Chain A
């Protein structure tokens, strides 16, 4: 097979105030023509650095210390800036992670796409436009002739990413680099983009390098996979071989940790203990040795060899070849390599779920004003509000975990903040331990804040940047004026509680990794022994290997203290593992609510079905062939008449378009808003 891009022994250093960080060390892999190559790794693995090295767009403090990047017969590292500019965009183009920030907000798509073709002097403006329209149609933008004259802010997130892909394809490049192309999108949008890329793959015979941390995405799309860890390629090979018979312990562990692959929802999630090593001083020997469950003495002393496999592919491990080779490695697929999963004799202590709810929300409504009263009067709008949360009823009992799931814009975060009295509510009732607390004045509510805590989405960003960890974890005591508390002792107690080494007490937030910062967040939430914790995306920004640790920790603390959790998330595989009950939110309404396991087994609402089926599976043999859900979440400003979901629902009929479904209940306690629930047998008729 013809090789299009050949990266050989690439090494890149970053000069930082901490010294030289060896971000890439001796990275080699080939990209064959007309194949999708996935580069997988956790944060800090150097996968993005590889991508930017190809284009010669590394940060100013980066320095390529060795190696070659051969593109066709040219070495990209030896090209002059002018030559590189000729390659960028024309022969190699990029699909960016965030379509919100990678497109020019003040130019229409037509102008932006004509600009992309600026080198084509012989091409007339009409021709350029025709080509742009053609590609916009190809990526599934409806009515491309008129929409091409719109600005990026007229497009929704998914449409923008489609347009981004069209722009990347415009010059007919021989290589496309995709940097986390679906990370900024919701589950249903992600499914659509994956489907689009699959189609393009069949149509265009494109060569794509896809960089992602999402194993599901890579399994769905790629032909070959390169697994990176801490700046080294630890394994590379065919996608089926990587996902079904991984040979490196890291690949194996990474796959075992992915919640989407674990069908058993009881027990703990497996984790890879430890952290990525400090690349300013990379340890000798195998880079993964410190975290490897099978590490031997030789691993710490000698760099393992690159061992070629029978089915092609290479893995860098002592277990495969040399004096320490183990014929029993890799073990069969059902043997768990990493610890902490189902195998160890530590089933979760079944949390005793109390009877009286700690939190009871009934018919809660939250509205936001969209314009001033005067402007609304002048424009003749009688009701200048949008309903962010509509008639939401939900309860959380002590010891229970309730998952609140929805796409962005569904109102789930607003709901969480309203419960905590950070956003005023319009109507309804919020009862905390039996007392009505909705819109309570802050001075009455403050004592209650000791009993309810919130964990925020961004683990590092939710910590005050100029405070040490010690000040952060002891702050709740100071805020609530608790006297007679030995703050140092409390800080150490909380550190123990969340298993954070005490030495970290003197660190500042920017010196913590995501997982460590998340632990500090948990410690702060737990400082005053609350009864209820509202966690907004507790695993956002965490790597697969770390999120298991945090979720296990949260489960332990729940069992110990009888905490009630309300977990707000869009990550279905995660929520499946930790929730007792689920509530699915769409456009501010809860469309389905009930036992988590039951909902996953048989959703009642078509939207729930789309979400459950929409999760990309980290298994190349279970690629999807169709998209469950078309269209996008409509704006809150123009809610459809009838059922909120009617425009995207594959089963909708005229009745759905006219009549808003009320809440129906099943005998098992499941509640849903749908005229034709999927659980009713008559449905199929």
Chain B
């Protein structure tokens, strides 16, 4: 075996090829990996977009999760004497036409947005990734079939689809979720499919096949880790879209049912009383704007830092 071979016999002495003593290599390696991570983090933290985005996103998550503790009032508690008030010390963002505290409703509305965004985006991402990889790696007919399905879904205007479905089932949060998921799957699937197609003919996939790796192994061990990066960035940028879709549907009365607070329903109610007070519309609009900005900034900063194609160079 190998141990028996003398160094002169092999023609290549067992020197450490990196030119460092063997035992120091893991440390040096760990150190260089850690340095690279630190460098990435530094790049991210010096990017004003990234920091702003991260702050806004954290604010969004914290306000939604801790809403029951942060909100000064029950979101559905009616205070008739103080109805339609502007911002006061008691009601920081004023009240609506029923005298409900708008600030509390904003916080609770964030919970609906977070729920839709988290569940909608993650489910769509997983399904889109799986279908996209299948379309890219699988046989041609399956690719064509799935592409046809994706294009059909994409060709449907979201709101019209929602209107049609609501006519059949009646409005609910679950319906909003379902529509968000169905309409955003094709985007993820398209990207996953294109990347998979590009990977399919690379040497390393062929090498895996020559070792006997089956489709499942190739897809989940070798294709997915190389495809998922851009998809996660896309997901971060997709969150505000989902939040606005939910708000839009709720605004149209197709989403969450009253009296549940949602940014869309706040906007809707504010729109009815806009001649009397602008505060309701402002209170429903600002969190939407901030969330959208936050996730978009975060997504762009992540892409700038992690996407190797964006790196400067020749």
B313 touches A462 (CB 8 A): no
B8 touches A346 (CB 8 A): yes
B113 to chain A, nearest CB (A): 33
Interfacial residues of chain A within 443-469, with CB under 8 A of chain B in the complex: 446, 449-450, 453-454, 456-458, 461-467
B225 touches A466 (CB 8 A): yes
Interfacial residues of chain A within 251-282, with CB under 8 A of chain B in the complex: 268-271, 273-275, 277-278
Closest residue on chain A to residue B4 by CB atoms: A560
**Of A59, A270, A450, which is within 8 A of B11 by CB?**
A270
Interfacial residues of chain A within 10-69, with CB under 8 A of chain B in the complex: 17-19, 52, 57-61
Closest residue on chain A to residue B18 by CB atoms: A275
Pick from A155-163, A219-227, A233-241, A501-509 the stretch touching chain B.
A501-509
A60 touches B313 (CB 8 A): yes
Q: Which chain A residues lie closer than 8 Å to B22 at the CB level?
A: 501-503
Q: Does B168 contact A (CB under 8 A)?
A: no
Q: Which chain A residues lie closer than 8 Å to B10 at the CB level?
A: 340, 499, 552-553, 556
Q: Which chain B residues lie closer than 8 Å to A553 at the CB level?
A: 10, 12
Majority secondary structure of chain A interface residues (helix, strand, loop or mixed) = loop
Q: Does A605 contact B (CB under 8 A)?
A: no
Q: Does A141 contact B (CB under 8 A)?
A: no
A436 to chain B, nearest CB (A): 19
A275 to B1, CA, bound (A): 25
B9 touches A462 (CB 8 A): no
**Of B2, B23, B202, B214, which is within 8 A of A499 by CB?**
B2
> A524 with B206: in contact, given A339-B11, A497-B2, A511-B29 (CB under 8 Å)?
no
- Interface flags for B172-214 (1: CB within 8 Å of A; 0: not) read 0000000000000000000000000000001110111111111
> A275 with B9: in contact, given A464-B208, A479-B217 (CB under 8 Å)?
no
Total chain A interface residues with beta-carbon distance under 8 A? 69
B12 touches A461 (CB 8 A): no
A46 to B2, CA, bound (A): 36
B8 touches A17 (CB 8 A): no
- Interface flags for A413-447 (1: CB within 8 Å of B; 0: not) read 00001001010000000000000000000100010
A450 touches B312 (CB 8 A): no
Q: Does A549 contact B (CB under 8 A)?
A: yes
A440 to chain B, nearest CB (A): 12
Q: Does A515 contact B (CB under 8 A)?
A: yes
Q: How many residue pairs at the A-B interface have CB separations less than 8 Å?
A: 152
A24 to chain B, nearest CB (A): 16
A454 touches B2 (CB 8 A): no
**Of B2, B3, B12, B207, which is within 8 A of A340 by CB?**
B12
A465 to B208, CA, bound (A): 12
Q: Does B151 contact A (CB under 8 A)?
A: no
Q: Does B45 contact A (CB under 8 A)?
A: no
A458 touches B203 (CB 8 A): yes
**Of B25, B217, B221, B226, which is within 8 A of A501 by CB?**
B25
Interfacial residues of chain B within 1-59, with CB under 8 A of chain A in the complex: 1-3, 5-6, 8-19, 22-23, 25-26, 29, 32, 35-36, 39-40
Q: Does A201 contact B (CB under 8 A)?
A: no
Majority secondary structure of chain B interface residues (helix, strand, loop or mixed) = helix
A496 touches B211 (CB 8 A): no
**Of B12, B211, B221, B222, which is within 8 A of A449 by CB?**
B211
A265 to B166, CA, bound (A): 80
Q: Which chain B residues lie closer than 8 Å to A548 at the CB level?
A: 11
- A60, A339, A464, A467: residue with the most chain B Cβ atoms closer than 10 Å: A464
A60 touches B202 (CB 8 A): no
> A461 with B19: in contact, given A344-B8, A556-B5 (CB under 8 Å)?
no
Q: Does A476 contact B (CB under 8 A)?
A: yes
Chain B residues touching A, range: 35 or more
> A339 with B5: in contact, given A422-B209, A466-B225, A479-B212 (CB under 8 Å)?
no
Q: Does B309 contact A (CB under 8 A)?
A: no
A556 to B6, CA, bound (A): 12
- B9, B25, B210: residue with the most chain A Cβ atoms closer than 10 Å: B210
Q: Does B314 contact A (CB under 8 A)?
A: yes
**Of B25, B26, B36, B221, which is within 8 A of A17 by CB?**
B36
B207 touches A61 (CB 8 A): no
**Of A339, A506, A513, A552, which is within 8 A of B26 by CB?**
A506
Closest residue on chain B to residue A516 by CB atoms: B17
B25 touches A446 (CB 8 A): no
**Of A61, A422, A549, which is within 8 A of B206 by CB?**
A422
A344 touches B9 (CB 8 A): yes
**Of A18, A19, A61, which is within 8 A of B312 by CB?**
A61
Q: Does A475 contact B (CB under 8 A)?
A: yes
> A422 with B210: in contact, given A61-B312, A275-B18, A479-B217 (CB under 8 Å)?
yes
Q: Does A185 contact B (CB under 8 A)?
A: no
A515 touches B17 (CB 8 A): yes
- Interface flags for A203-223 (1: CB within 8 Å of B; 0: not) read 000000000000000000000
> A456 with B13: in contact, given A61-B312, A464-B222, A479-B213 (CB under 8 Å)?
no
Q: Which chain B residues lie closer than 8 Å to A454 at the CB level?
A: 207, 210
Q: Does A119 contact B (CB under 8 A)?
A: no
**Of A60, A277, A283, A346, which is within 8 A of B9 by CB?**
A346
A507 to B206, CA, bound (A): 22
Interfacial residues of chain A within 648-676, with CB under 8 A of chain B in the complex: none
A456 touches B206 (CB 8 A): yes
> A464 with B221: in contact, given A503-B25, A524-B211 (CB under 8 Å)?
yes
Q: Does A480 contact B (CB under 8 A)?
A: yes
Q: Which chain A residues lie closer than 8 Å to B221 at the CB level?
A: 464, 467
**Of A290, A461, A467, A507, which is within 8 A of B203 by CB?**
A461
B2 to chain A, nearest CB (A): 5
Interfacial residues of chain A within 61-94, with CB under 8 A of chain B in the complex: 61
- B10, B40, B209, B225: residue with the most chain A Cβ atoms closer than 10 Å: B10
Q: Which chain A residues lie closer than 8 Å to B23 at the CB level?
A: 503
Closest residue on chain A to residue B208 by CB atoms: A464
- A17, A57, A270: residue with the most chain B Cβ atoms closer than 10 Å: A17
Q: Which chain B residues lie closer than 8 Å to A507 at the CB level?
A: 29
> A501 with B17: in contact, given A18-B32, A461-B203 (CB under 8 Å)?
yes
- Interface flags for B246-277 (1: CB within 8 Å of A; 0: not) read 00000000000000000000000000000000
> A271 with B11: in contact, given A449-B210, A449-B212, A479-B217 (CB under 8 Å)?
yes
Q: Which 9 A-B pairs have the closest CB atoms?
A: A340-B11, A503-B25, A449-B212, A466-B225, A59-B314, A462-B203, A60-B312, A346-B9, A454-B210
Beyond the given pairs A467-B221, A506-B29, 12 more chain A to chain B contacts, judged by CB atoms under 8 angstroms and listed by A's residue number, are: A60-B313, A274-B19, A283-B19, A346-B11, A449-B211, A461-B202, A464-B222, A480-B212, A503-B29, A504-B25, A506-B26, A552-B11
11 A-B pairs whose Cβ atoms sit less than 8 Å apart in the complex: A59-B314, A340-B11, A462-B207, A464-B221, A464-B222, A479-B214, A503-B29, A504-B25, A506-B26, A506-B29, A521-B207
